[in-house]
Structure 1
Amino acid sequence: MTVGSFFIRTSRVLNSSNFLLLCTLSGGGVVAYSESQSGAERPSIEANEPAKKKVVVLGTGWAATSFLKDLDASLYDVQVVSPRNYFAFTPLLPSVTCGTVEARSIVEPVRNIIKKRKGEVNFWEAECVKIDYSNKKVFCRSNIDNLVGSNEFSLDYDFLVVAVGAQVNTFNTPGVKENCHFLKDVEDAQKIRLSVIDCFEKAVLPSLSDDERRSNLHFVVVGGGPTGVEFAAELHDYVQEDLIKLYPTVKDKVKITLIQSGDHILNMFDERISSFAEQKFTRDGVEVQTGCRVVAVNDKDITVKVKSTGDVCSVPHGLIVWSTGISTLPVIRDFMEEIGQTKRHVLATNEWLRVNGCEDVYAIGDCSSITQRKIMDDITAIFEAADKNNSGTLTIEEFQEVMDDIILRYPQVEQYLKQKHLRDFTTLWKDLQGNESKEIDIQAFKLALSHADSQVKSLPATAQVYIISPVT
């Protein structure tokens, strides 16, 4: 690229003797590039090689696994820490809850993944409880049952890759943690499956009244995002295709309710997708309550407030699945406080996924958010780099060349062109000048791109990028 300050910072990294570089791809993956002792001063094989830099990776989810698959572990001392010793294909968790897919089909042991890497990678089944940035150390605690000896240890690092994900956001609603199921992991899916069966078994007991049977067979899904919608759809199919055949006496007492705080389900996607999903649920008999907020939960009832009227009502339930989004883990909140990022929900990183203000710490996945650099911050340097003959103006050829580079460096520009219904850069040039042969100065260049930064969008949670596919 030919973007002034960007090239300066990049060249400094590339000229260093040992570095680790992360970047994201358009498909949602993470790529790790590594290099050591580059240039003419590379030591001979006979020379004593320095100790390998220590790379500690926290997590075994989408982001961490993607990073590990592209890291040349032979260049580093790599250590992975996670309380989960497997990678789970989260888009299929709703299918596991209903038996459409077996749990073993969506997991891959981490040790199987790392043994295929070039070089040695160590894995520790433990949870990181503290990141000490000042001393470049992480403190971990193992949750393995019946462990003989201490369950706490610490690891030093030269590079730290934080990919711990996030936790379910309960919004501090009373009773949620005690009385609701979550759907974040394979264990969660298996528990939900057992609970659904238990609800049907209780409902057919001869001692229950019809109202009690209806209460036990009322399944409530809180949250109209991808996870909640997918689970509600899977549960409906499971009930209609399997369970009512096994429990025919209570088939007319089953009810599924989806509660959404917003005006529509799947409101983060195109309106056509949202409308299609709502219509499909209506045809299938799944009740969708939009504009409603859950204010309390106990073991028998769920209390819902209608936002438009303020009316509050309590409804009996047999099972509740809570899927209202994600929130920051305590270890990340503590780390953010240490590095001065207290006014955010997730870690802020630059475009190279390096945590802002932390030289050797990277963050990827749901625990972080990329701070996309704005084009107007670099507009003068971009213009000067494109103006090769220092004429103070750009020709259409120079304009075309610099725009090709800009589209890679600043993805919001491409979104801006689409939003303005401009086919290509030549169309933008004509729209700006009204004369294809006329050159433009820096003021016109700034004017052409002045609104592009308004197209900067936050990326969705990692799993949601993939989970929408089965819904559509």
Structure 2
Amino acid sequence: MIDYDYLVVALGATVNSFNTPGVMEHCYFLKEVEDAQKIRRNVVDCFEKASLPYISEEEKRKILHFVIIGGGPTGVEFAAELHDFLVEDLVKLYPAIQDFVKISIIQSGEHILNMFDQRIASFAETKFQRDGIEVSTGFRVVKVTDDLITMKSKSAGEISIPYGMAVWSAGIGTRPVIMDFMHQIGQTNRRVLATNEWLRVHECDSIYAIGDCASIDQRKIMEDISIIFKMADKDNSGTLTLKEINDVLEDICIRYPQVELYMKSMHMIDIRDLIKDAVGDSHKEAMVVDIEEFKKALSHVDSQVKSVPATAQVAAQQGNYLAECFNKMDQCKEHPEGPLRMTGSGRHYFRPFQYKHLGQFAPLGGEQAAAELPGDWVSMGHSTQWLWYSVYASKQVSWRTRVLVVSDWTRRFIFGRDSSRI
């Protein structure tokens, strides 16, 4: 037993097989360091086995068929790295069987990388086609045995393909310890822990959760619309002027970030654009709204509430946010999670966590990558790969780690990858 003042749950997630028969028994995964070691050993074993003189050509094609199930960023990056490893290194050691090597991606959606810009998805599919990586979209895996993968699509029906190694990268699930904790605190029938906007687990005063094991329940503005109106109506007139709304708008946008997102999505310049449809022509000059018009103006705002993606970028920002909060915890023990200025406190304490998307990369092998960065900027090709190298190195936790990573890349460029089994 260990006593604690504050507990941060950051256990991540585990594999989600969606109860597909045979997945846990026959597939490799991409979650732990041990998984990477198992995959590396098995890839080399496949080449060793296929090199035996008594193995038929049909059996060699089966043994050297590497299948990745899931066409998201993780599956695509693994397929690209595996292709480079096989083509640039292993086939030089096993030239007699290089023609039997095949890599396939099975994706249930219509495109791989469907969370990226469509231009990136098309670029990735075209590059994989040139590289000889077969991409099967619109297929859902329904069963995995020790030598066959059965998949189904609406157009082609059910198809079974032989394989030598299958890697499952089709989703994440909840770790058993998290499920037990959720049961203890009454968060049953959920996939992950529910936290408030300050990353504190609901109904747990001193427990916080970040990363893939948790999700933020952003409070809806319509739940508090009457309270917001009352706080803004300082003269108790029953109506809000443009000045009164502007006085609390900054606080509203901090507490309910969906307001700012909605205004941006609708290309609104200021608060006038937000309320003009709710204000009648007879008093448009004064821009005065009552409670019903105020509700109407904000009625569609909550549609912009979105879950943060399950990425390391989110977890890193959440970790930095909590570190700053804990460092200031002694300064505001009474109300560490607010309140906002419009409720009469006079100043903010801890602002709610707000994720800032800094972009995302998709390494595609062959020293090429694709990037989707803020401002709708899409970049693809060799230059983007070097941008990815620089970003990846800069995100390491220390200069020692950065030097080790860069030195590994340098050795790979000069001498190739280590193809030993261990």
Question: Which residue does 1:12 correspond to in 2?
Answer: none
| Alpha-carbon shift at residue 367 of structure 1 (Å) | 1.2
Q: Which amino acid aligns with 1:163?
A: A
Q: In structure 1, what residue type is equivalent to 2:241?
A: T
Q: Deviations over 1:222-278 (max 9, x none)?
A: 111111111111112222322233322222221111111222222233333333322
Deviations 1:320-344 (A, max 9, x none): 1111111111112122222221111
Q: What residue is the counterpart of 1:442 in the other structure? A: 291
What is the DSSP-based 3-state SS (H/G/I as helix, E as strand, rest coil) of the residue aligned with 2:142? strand
Structure 1 equivalent of residue 204 of structure 2 = 358
**Amino acid aligned to 2:291:** I
- State the SS of the aligned residue for 2:294: helix
Matched with 2:188 is 342
Q: Which moved more, 1:423-432 or 1:188-197?
A: 423-432
Choose 378-387 or 308-317, whichever is displaced more: 308-317
Distance 2:106 2:285 in 1: 55
How far, CA to CA, are the matches of 2:201 and 2:287 in structure 1? 43
2:111 aligned partner:
264
Which residues in structure 2 correspond to 1:5-154 (within 5 Å)? 154=1
Query: What is the aligned partner in structure 1 of residue 157 from structure 2?
Result: 311
Residue in structure 2 matching 1:401, options 231, 239, 247: 247
SS of the aligned residue for 2:28 comes to coil
Residue in structure 2 matched with residue 367 of structure 1 by the alignment: 213
Kindly provide the amino acid, as one letter, of the partner of residue 57 in structure 2. Answer: D
TM-score by length of 2: 0.70
For the Cα contact (< 8 Å) 2:275–2:294, is it kept in 1? no
> What amino acid maps onto 1:311 in structure 2?
G
Residue of structure 2 in register with 1:178 after alignment:
25
Partner of 2:212: helix, strand, or coil? Answer: helix
Please say if residues 83 and 103 of structure 2, whose CA atoms lie closer than 8 Å, have aligned partners that are also in contact: yes
Q: Distance in 1 between matches of 2:65 and 2:252?
A: 54
What's the offset of the Cα at 1:431? 5.0
Identity among equivalent positions (%) equals 63
The letter for the 1-side match of 2:203 is G
Does the 8 Å contact 1:227/1:467 carry over to 2?
no
Does 1:391 find its partner at 2:240?
no
Partner of residue 310, structure 2:
461
Tell me if structure 2 keeps the 8 A contact 1:217–1:253.
yes
DSSP-derived class of the 2:29 partner: coil
Distance 1:384 1:309 in 2: 57
Amino acid at match of 1:448: A
1:296 counterpart SS class: strand
Identify the residue that residue 39 of structure 2 maps to in structure 1: 192
CA distance 1:464–1:321, shift in 2 (3 Å): farther
Return 274-283 or 159-168, whichever deviates more.
Answer: 274-283
- The one-letter code of the counterpart of 1:469 is F
Give the alignment's Cα RMSD to 1 decimal.
2.2
Matched positions, count:
318
More strand by share: 1
Following superposition, the deviation at residue 369 of structure 1 comes to: 1.0
Provide closer, same or farther for how the CA distance between residues 271 and 470 of structure 1 changes in structure 2, counting only shifts above 3 A: closer
Looking at structure 1, the residues matched to 313 and 156 of structure 2 have their Cα atoms a distance apart, in angstroms, of 31
Aligned equivalents of 2:134, 2:179: Cα separation in 1: 37
Match of residue 424 from structure 1: 270
Q: 1:181 touches 1:192 (CA, 8 Å); kept in 2?
A: yes
Q: Is 2:131 the counterpart of 1:239? A: no
User: Do residues 325 (structure 1) and 135 (structure 2) align?
Assistant: no
Deviation of 1:312 after TM superposition, in Å, equals 2.2
Deviations 1:264-297 (A, max 9, x none): 2222333333333223222322111122122222
> 1:253 aligns to what?
100
Aligned-partner Cα distance in 1 for 2:47–2:359 = 28
5+ residue gaps, structure 1:
1-153
169 and 447 in structure 1: CA distance in 2 versus 1, 3 angstrom threshold: same
- Asked whether the 8 Å contact 1:163–1:363 carries over to 2, the reply is yes
Partner Cα distance (2:156, 2:96) in 1: 38
Letter in 2 for 1:417: M
Please give the secondary structure, in 2, of the residue aligned with 1:320.
strand
For the Cα contact (< 8 Å) 2:51–2:97, is it kept in 1?
A: yes
1:90-147: CA deviations, max 9, x gaps?
xxxxxxxxxxxxxxxxxxxxxxxxxxxxxxxxxxxxxxxxxxxxxxxxxxxxxxxxxx
The 8 Å contact of residues 226 and 464 in structure 1, kept in 2 or not, is answered as: no
Secondary structure of residue in 1 paired with 2:260: helix
- One-letter amino acid of the counterpart of residue 250, structure 2: D
| Partner SS, residue 444 of structure 1 | helix
| C-alpha contact 2:26 2:145 (8 A) present in aligned 1 | yes
What TM-score, normalized to structure 1?
0.63
